[in-house]
Amino acid sequence: EAAAAGGRAANIRVDVVQHTPYELWKRHRRTEGQDKPLPESIDPNYLRILFKAKPPPGPPGGPAAAAAAAEHGEADKEACYCLLEAVHTLLEPTDPPQVKDYVAFPKANGYRALHTAVRLPLPPPAAAA
């Protein structure tokens, strides 16, 4: 997994998360009137992939540390995109693809992440008894 992040990840965590009934209701309310069938507009499960980047080398503080942190930040961005590519290689992206890039375009509060939607493989339906 760390190789997928270009060796930049100190650790990687993958979670399959299930939306609460309230979150599903909120999402349905947002998609009302969009002419989407319910199964496409609401997916109760999603993957969350978190990785913690390795800290920049060298002692903290000073101009050398600032330069190392800037270079390190670029490597972290590349690691995010490597992970996104790995996810899209392993799991089929939705059609049309849904990617929100908060790494290149951080939110005002400093939040940085990549969001993507993929199709999770479903187990075969159980045979009727």
- Which residues, listed in sequence order, are joined to residue 49 by a DSSP beta bridge? 14
pLDDT in tens, 68-94: 666 667 777 787 888 888 888 988 887
Report pLDDT for 2: 45
Percent of the chain with pLDDT over 70: 49
Task: Quote the CA–CA distance of 103 and 74 in Å, as a whole number.
Answer: 10
Report pLDDT for 45: 64
Residues written for the chain: 129
Residue 116, pLDDT > 70, answer yes
3-state secondary structure of 100: strand
* Domain boundary assignment for the chain: 3-116
